[in-house]
Chain A
């Protein structure tokens, strides 16, 4: 089969993506293992190979002798065409075996726009799309996890098992149950019912959803003996949990080809638009000693020249200075640079900063998210204009000439004044640059405004909010553009149609399954890629299914509405989300977890920041 594909490999772009065989990739004898797991990332090799979660689970599964976990990525359009034309089913990179013969096919759901690729990959694999067509053991168990599993309903028809929360423990528990179930000769249906008893496991086919006349959810009913509420899983102690000693080192250039060292999970900040800030609660840190040791091992075994610290907010890591001092001891002599994404440099020790190479190299980036302090209070983004200006001043004095500002457009309560605020802030930065008498003459400043369209997400205080309509987005973009008067300021924004579709699926329910299937028939895939996105086909699919997409995107939800994901428990309570929503509309901020507990509900996990000594 692969031999057949090989004949065409030189006619596709970057064929190295389809052959495997990379350093540290794991090849086992299929006769020596009990469980074969196809770990599918529903996007290209370059994107999937940069993803930390996949690296962790791949190594962890393969550390067990009885499991062989292999990697699968979505073939790019040209390779897919060749595969379809020559009847080559989707295969796993390590063995080149078709994944339809595996025990498990698992997807990681990192963004809603990859849902069409999930379905397309099942199709390319020759696996029936629907759970209801995979009732016997002759088809793999199809599982999925990742952040989007917090509202998995649009994929409920297609996925047998969703893993809620962090996968390191629950995935293996399900694999063990599978082994036992196969040994005992029980049916797949019985296996799924047993799996549903495991905390963090959601088997959507065991739940029936009924709807009100107005289209909202009336109730979600679990089958007898199945938990009515499913709670997410967390790893309690990051110091003792599994972390890979080596990564698969790709030959072809990927998005982030570097060692990645996780330093903590969760975020203390509670920015009200940010899903990650809520669904990964509570904050749990890894000690500097452990992080340093792991980072060092990764660099030694993979030959990387850069190591990046991974978390939602580097500055909030309490041991950051200790960790950097430990890491610099070996990184400097090996010419390895340390990347510190999302570091706030305003009150960071200057000597340490200067030692960390990459901070000097990268351009200066801020994410004020909103143009005025009023709106920043609404979204609970605790960065002030003074902080931005004082940091820029520092940066300009040390020779920087470029500043990036990230904003969101279409936030709840946003007015034209807030849009103008973005332009004004950028202008202030420009003016600041020219007020510096020591600036390099003849070198103009470049301030770029990058605008993302706000998409309301489940498990955030804005889950009740309407998303701005397509027309409004365009108007707002135009208003922003007209507010920018300097040529030193550039503005870029995303395709609004893509944000619209993301909004629909983020808060969608099971009825969207039909739309996904219909759209797949029309050839949609790679929706996150501008060059592949077929908005018209999506609109046709919605229309043919008789579904109004704006019901999901631009409808305001009442506080007492049953959300399609309300039977999933991520610790954070709906009561808390409602109170945060009210505070947002009163423009009142909420303190971060370390300043004062806001009572979000994540204490129920018994770990992390909720129990730190203060």
Chain B
């Protein structure tokens, strides 16, 4: 038994497919591909797959990662690639299948590119100002449905603003994750404005040393 790490992008209309739906869809593709996946034991055997970091509904991504557990160790990465490649639909472009270098739980940061359709310059400069604060206290919904105060700034590793685009590196992963949407929502709330239409692309994942997640 071994794992193979699958790298792909999620672009276009498929961004409206949620993480859970994509997960179910991948299981179907894997069945179709007939690659020798390992099936969980038990009453309802199913292949075992893990995503490095779930992607929010509506976000695009240049760098998606899914691990598949194989039953047959002699089955090569290249064969996995060749089996999956023709099955990946439009919007999910398969890049490569590799041996995992880092452990799936080691994702610590993610890059996001946030592009606004058309916003006044003052919007972008205001956003920049907000991010330059030493602390950005905001309310975050907890899993229990209550709200608690958190400092968004603690999650911001770095950022830059150019024209209509915000590039931002945020803490990511199981324990310390921030959705960039919360920053934009906080900005809108503070200024009592409606958030303009924007597109989010997650462009890269890193480990805690800011090394590209592989």
Residue positions of A touching B, CB distance < 8 A: 7, 9-10, 15-16, 18-23, 249, 251-253, 300-305, 334-335
Contacts A10-B57, A20-B13 given; indicate if A251 touches B21 (C-beta within 8 A): yes
B118 to chain A, nearest CB (A): 12
CB < 8 Å: which of A10, A20, A253 contacts B24? A253
Are A15 and B31 interface neighbours, CB within 8 A?
A: no
Max count, chain B CB within 10 A of own CB: residue among A21, A251, A252: A251
Contact among A16, A300, A302 for B17, CB-based, below 8 A: A16
B13 to chain A, nearest CB (A): 4
Q: Which residue of B lies closest to A25 (CB)?
A: B89
Rounded to whole Å, the gap between the CB of B15 and the closest CB of chain A is 9
A23-B89, A251-B21, A253-B21 given as contacts; is B27 within 8 A of A303 (CB)?
yes
User: A19 touching B31 by the CB < 8 A rule?
Assistant: no
- Distance between Cα atoms of A22 and B117 in the complex (Å): 27
Q: Which A residues touch B27, using CB under 8 A?
A: 303, 305
B58 near A10: Cβ-Cβ < 8 Å = yes
- Distance of B179 from chain A, by nearest CB (Å): 13
A21: contacting residue among B21, B30, B58, B89, CB under 8 A: B89
Are the CB atoms of B28 and A304 closer together than 8 Å?
A: yes
Q: How far is the CB of B123 from chain A (nearest CB, A)?
A: 17
Nearest-CB distance from A345 to chain B (Å)? 20
Give the CA-CA distance A265 to B17 in the complex, in Å. 36
B32 touches A19 (CB 8 A): no
Give the nearest-CB partner of A11 in chain B: B58
Rounded to whole angstroms, the CA-CA distance of A7 and B87 in the bound complex is 29
Q: How far is the CA of A302 from the CA of B24 in the complex (A)?
A: 12
Decide if B32 touches A302 in the complex (CB within 8 Å). Answer: yes
Closest residue of chain A to B199 (Cβ to Cβ) is: A6
For the complex, give the distance between the alpha carbons of A301 and B33 in Å: 9
User: Chain B residues near A7 (CB, 8 Å)?
Assistant: 117, 197
Query: Bound complex: CA of A172 vs CA of B70, how far in Å?
Result: 47
| Cβ A19 vs Cβ B13 within 8 A | yes
* Smallest beta-carbon distance A21→chain B, Å: 5
Mind listing 6 A-B residue pairs with CB under 8 Å? A9-B16, A16-B21, A23-B25, A300-B32, A303-B29, A335-B39
Given A302-B32, A303-B29, A16 contacting B18 (CB threshold 8 A) = yes
Determine whether B121 belongs to the interface, using a CB cutoff of 8 Å to chain A. Answer: no
Please tell me if the beta carbons of A249 and B28 are within 8 angstroms of each other in the complex.
yes
- Known contacts: A16-B16, A21-B14. The answer to whether A251 contacts B45 by CB under 8 A is no
**Chain B residue contacts of A301, Cβ below 8 A:** 32
- From the candidates B12, B25, B32, name the one contacting A251 in the complex (CB within 8 A): B25
Residue of A nearest to B18 (CB): A16
Q: Is the CB of B57 within 8 A of A15?
A: yes
B149 within 8 A of A: no
A302–B17 Cα distance when bound, in Å, is: 18
The 8 closest A-B pairs by CB, nearest first: A303-B28, A303-B31, A303-B32, A15-B16, A19-B13, A251-B17, A10-B58, A251-B21
Taking the closest CB of chain A, its distance from the CB of B198, in whole angstroms, is 10
Residue numbers in A under 8 Å from B29 (CB-CB): 23, 303
Q: For residues 23 through 44 of chain B, which have their beta carbon under 8 Å from a beta carbon of chain A?
A: 24-25, 27-32, 39
Nearest-CB distance from B60 to chain A (Å)?
12
Q: Which residues of A are found within 8 Å of B46, using beta-carbon distances?
A: 305, 335
Report yes or no: A251 in contact with B14, Cβ–Cβ below 8 A.
yes
Bound: A304/B27 CA distance, A: 9
Determine the residue in chain A with the shortest Cβ distance to B16.
Answer: A15
Give the CA-CA distance A304 to B13 in the complex, in Å. 23
Residues of A within 8 A of B16 (CB): 9-10, 15-16, 18-19
Q: Which residue of A lies closest to B22 (CB)?
A: A251
B90 interface residue, CB < 8 Å from A? yes
Contact of A302 among B12, B18, B28 (CB under 8 A): B28
CB neighbours (8 Å) of B174 from chain A are: none
- B80-92 vs A, Cβ < 8 Å mask (1 yes, 0 no): 0000000101110
A494 to chain B, nearest CB (A): 30
Residues of chain A within 8 A of B197, CB atoms compared: 7
Kindly identify which residue among A16, A252, A334 contacts B31, using a CB–CB cutoff of 8 Å: A334
Minimum CB–CB distance from A305 to chain B (whole Å) comes to 7
How far, in whole Å, are A20 and B17 apart by their CA atoms in the complex?
A: 10
Name 16 extra pairs, CB < 8 A, besides A19-B16, A20-B13, A303-B29: A7-B117, A7-B197, A9-B16, A10-B16, A15-B16, A15-B57, A21-B13, A21-B14, A21-B90, A22-B89, A249-B28, A251-B14, A301-B32, A303-B32, A335-B45, A335-B46
**Closest chain B CB from A496 CB (angstroms):** 36
User: Which residues of B in the span 43-95 have a Cβ within 8 Å of any Cβ on A?
Assistant: 45-46, 57-58, 87, 89-91
- Give the chain B neighbours of A18 by CB distance below 8 A: 16
Closest residue of chain A to B25 (Cβ to Cβ) is A251
Give bound CA distance, A241 to B197, whole Å. 49
B155 CB → nearest A CB, Å: 22
Contacts of B30 in A (CB 8 A): 303
Query: A253–B23 Cα gap in the complex (Å)?
Result: 11
Q: Which residues of B contact A9 (CB under 8 A)?
A: 16, 58
User: A23 CA to B90 CA in the complex, in Å?
Assistant: 9
Nearest-Cβ distance from residue B180 to partner chain A, whole angstroms: 14
